[in-house]
Each structure stands twice: as structure tokens, then as C-alpha cells.
């Protein structure tokens, strides 16, 4: 190696933006997934594979390609703007679109389409999107006897504590400052006096208890579609309550002419037949409240789903019992599965109820499960839908 070569050096600059590429692509992918969930949520939550499962399934949603805009080489070498002799006159046709399939023609087209692929999302991701703006309306603080939950609040930094509570960031800053004062530009050594520990207080915060009484019509007039929609609603209702609240209980009542308290599994799987007398469910709900759920200690939320085909002679009794339930409840929700846009005997009677705590929604198709959930659990507003 001669002196000239020895003294030669190369200056290069690395494009550090390439190091961020993976992170940026991942963020764009997650944004696309969230957008797809938001756009398809009404259809996704009524997906049968989820509702009829244990809730641990995943679903696939279509997402547009994540390709970025880029310049593509023109293999056909046809002339475009800025090319050619420039001798065209006003009125000349400069070019025609390819008449392939996809543009309305008969032949196979050569224009690129939009890439669509499927991404899997979990039930937890759907819950996060669905439950974000939902809450139990009119929730009140009740008697606090055993309605208290523990919360941890970090509120101080000290020099002594358990090693598991070491605040690494503050410890390093303390060491840096001490070493700088001593003329050392380094973290090490770290001495005992540099250690900083987080401390906390246990906060006991009262929470209001609540009970949701889920009532479902299982009579012969409730067909496969009607039962599926009702069960879909109650499936998400149960998950919403257990995800967002610690002190909420759920009672399940199924009814035809007679009502009975059933297990959660029976509620979602057992089919029955017979006539319909909705007042039997309301009467049993009142008995449950009297025996187990005093209004002085519980926020009470009765929900009833039916196709609305009730004995006409029973409607007056239903109105009387609903009025009694409204007097001790935060809200009464009535959902009617009615895909034929007909006026049912039951809803015709319920339209006379003027209490703002009575909310109803008519569900005509699967995606209405989403709209009913949003309507019933939109705090502070009496929502009438359908």
C-alpha cells in the first residue's frame, strides 16, 4: 500500500430512515386493521362462528393492500403526457382506455386491480372497538357494605424499598448527576445512594353493584333467525358487562307461556316451543328482585327480547308489570326481532310507554345487533330505534 492509498478515506452516509421502515410498515398495518374492524364491525359482531362459540375464536376481515405509491416502468412504451411530437390539435382523441374486463369490456383487462387480503382479528380486538363508547346508563351509587374494590396508586419515590419496585430511570439519572459532579461522564458506578424506589398506596374505592336480568322469548313463534339475533345480543351484552364491570351479576330467564330461571348454557343453547305469555318473564324478574336484588343495593337493568307475538289479552298485564319494574330499575330494554317490518301486538302496546327509562329497538337484520347495543348502552340518552 503506497502513501497515497494509505491517506485515502471514504465518506459515506447511511440512510437511517431504512431502520424505521419495519416500524412504519407495522404501524400502517395496525392502522389498516383498526380501520377495517371499524368499517366492518356491525357485520363482524354478528358472525355466527363467534356467537355460537366460546368467544375465543378469530375472524378474518378484508384489508386493502399496504403497498405505497411508486413509479412503475411503462413496459408497453405508449406515449403519455410530455412525450411525442406535440402536433395534436384541439379536439383530437389522445388515447382510449383499455376495454378489458374490469373496465366493462369483453376481453381480459391488463389494468392492475386493488390487492385485497384477509387479516385475522381476535374477539378481544372486536371487544375493544365495540365497548369503547358503551356503558350502563343511569348507574347510581348504592349502599357500600361490600361494594369496595382495591386499586394501587403509585404516589412517591424513596431511597429505600423492595428491589422489585426499583425505578430504573430515576436511579440512572441520579447516578449520572452524581458522577458528573465528580467529573465522570458515565453511569457507572451506581451506588446505594443512587437507588430510587416507587411506593404506593392501596386505595379502596366503592363501586356500585348492578344486576342485568336477561329475558328471552323461546316460544314456537321465535324461529331460527329470531333466536339467533336475540342470543347474539345477549352474547355481547354478557361480554360487555364482564369486561367493563367488576360488580355486575347476570340472571337468565327463558319463557314461553311460563318463565323459569335457567343457567347461562341453557339460555344460549336450549330450544323450547309453545305459546307466548311475556308477563310470566316480568313477574319472575320481580320475584328475583324481591328475593336477591334489593333496589337499595343494586342498579337493576331488565332486558327482554321477543318477536312481539304475545297473547293480546296479556299485553295489559305486561304494561302494568313494566311500569312496576321501571319504578325500581335504572333502565328497561326491549328488543324486538322483526325482519318483516310489521307492527307486532306487543310493540304496539309498548309505544304508549312514556317513561324515558324505557328503551326499545327493532332488529331487522344481523347488523342491527351492533346498533341495538350502541342504542341501549349510550349513557344519558333515551334511544328509540327501528
pLDDT in tens, 327-376: 999 999 999 999 887 778 899 999 999 999 999 999 999 999 999 999 99
Name the average pLDDT for the chain. 77
DSSP result, 163-232: GGGB-HHHHHHHHHHHHHHTT--SSPPP-GGG--EEEEEEEEEE--EEEEEEEEE-STTS-HHHHHHHHH
Q: What is the pLDDT of residue 113?
A: 52
**Average pLDDT over every residue of 253-266:** 94
The model's pLDDT over 224-258, given as tens digits with 9 standing for 90+, comes to: 999 999 999 999 999 999 888 888 999 999 999 99
Nearest Cα neighbor of 237 from 145, 135, 164 is 135
Please give the model's pTM, rounded to 2 decimal places.
0.63
The helix, strand and coil proportions of the chain, stated in percent and rounded to the nearest 5, come to 35, 20, 45
C-alpha cell at 297: 343495593
Reply yes or no on whether the pLDDT at 71 is more than 70.
Answer: no
The pLDDT assigned to 17 comes to 56
Among the ranges given (34-38, 192-196, 307-311, 344-348), the one the predictor scored with the smallest mean pLDDT: 34-38
Q: How confident is residue 190, by pLDDT bands cut at 50, 70 and 90?
A: confident
Question: Mean of the pLDDT values across residues 157-180?
Answer: 79
- The residue with greater pLDDT, 282 or 193, is 282
Name the pLDDT band for 119 (thresholds 50, 70, 90): low
Q: How crowded is residue 248: how many other Cβ atoms within 10 Å of its Cβ?
A: 21
CA–CA separation, 143 and 125 (whole Å)? 35
The pLDDT of residue 382 is 43
Does 6 score more than 70 pLDDT?
no
DSSP conformation letters of 52-88: TTTS--EEEEEEE--PPP-----TT----TT-S----
E runs forming strands in the chain? 58-64, 116-122, 148-158, 197-206, 209-217, 248-255, 259-262, 298-306, 332-337, 358-363, 384-385
What CA–CA distance (Å, rounded) separates 124 from 119?
Answer: 15
Phi, psi angles (nearest 5°) of residue 149: -120, 155
The length of the chain is 386
Amino acid at each position: 500500500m503506497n502513501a497515497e492509498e494509505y491517506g485515502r478515506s471514504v465518506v459515506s452516509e447511511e440512510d437511517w430512515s431504512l431502520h424505521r421502515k419495519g416500524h412504519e410498515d407495522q404501524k400502517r398495518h395496525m392502522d389498516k386493521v383498526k380501520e377495517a374492524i371499524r368499517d366492518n364491525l356491525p357485520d363482524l359482531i354478528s358472525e355466527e362462528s363467534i356467537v355460537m362459540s366460546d368467544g375465543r375464536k378469530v375472524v378474518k376481515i378484508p384489508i386493502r393492500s399496504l403497498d405505497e405509491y411508486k413509479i412503475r416502468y411503462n413496459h408497453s412504451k405508449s406515449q403519455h403526457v410530455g412525450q411525442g411530437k406535440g402536433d395534436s390539435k384541439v379536439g383530437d382523441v389522445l388515447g382510449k382506455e383499455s376495454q378489458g374486463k374490469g373496465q366493462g369490456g369483453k376481453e381480459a383487462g391488463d389494468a392492475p386491480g386493488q390487492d385485497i387480503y384477509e387479516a385475522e382479528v381476535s374477539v378481544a380486538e372486536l371487544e375493544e372497538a365495540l365497548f369503547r363508547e358503551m356503558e350502563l346508563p343511569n348507574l347510581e351509587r348504592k349502599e357500600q357494605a361490600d361494594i369496595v374494590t382495591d386499586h394501587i396508586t403509585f404516589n412517591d419515590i424513596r431511597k429505600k424499598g423492595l428491589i422489585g419496585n426499583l425505578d430504573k430511570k430515576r436511579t440512572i439519572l441520579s447516578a449520572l448527576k452524581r458522577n458528573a459532579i465528580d467529573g465522570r461522564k458515565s453511569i457507572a458506578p451506581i451506588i446505594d445512594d443512587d437507588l430510587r424506589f416507587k411506593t404506593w398506596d392501596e386505595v379502596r374505592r366503592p363501586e356500585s353493584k348492578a344486576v342485568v336480568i336477561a329475558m328471552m322469548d323461546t316460544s314456537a313463534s321465535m324461529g331460527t333467525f329470531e333466536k339467533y339475533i336475540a342470543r347474539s345480543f345477549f352474547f355481547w351484552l354478557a361480554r360487555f358487562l364482564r369486561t367493563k364491570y367488576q360488580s355486575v351479576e347476570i340472571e337468565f330467564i327463558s319463557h314461553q307461556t311460563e318463565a323459569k330461571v335457567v343457567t347461562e348454557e341453557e339460555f344460549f343453547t336450549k330450544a323450547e316451543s309453545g305459546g307466548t305469555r311475556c308477563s310470566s318473564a316480568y313477574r319472575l324478574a320481580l320475584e328475583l328482585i324481591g328475593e336477591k336484588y334489593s333496589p337499595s343495593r343494586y342498579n337493576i337493568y331488565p332486558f327482554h327480547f321477543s318477536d312481539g307475538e304475545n297473547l293480546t289479552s296479556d299485553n295489559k298485564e305486561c304494561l302494568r308489570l313494566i311500569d312496576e319494574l321501571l319504578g325500581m330499575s335504572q333502565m328497561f330494554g326491549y328488543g324486538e326481532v322483526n325482519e318483516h317490518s310489521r307492527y307486532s301486538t306487543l310493540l304496539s302496546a309498548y309505544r304508549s310507554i312514556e317513561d324515558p327509562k324505557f328503551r326499545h329497538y327493532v332488529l331487522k337484520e344481523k347488523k342491527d345487533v351492533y346498533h341495538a347495543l350502541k342504542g341501549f348502552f349510550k349513557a344519558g340518552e333515551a334511544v328509540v330505534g327501528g
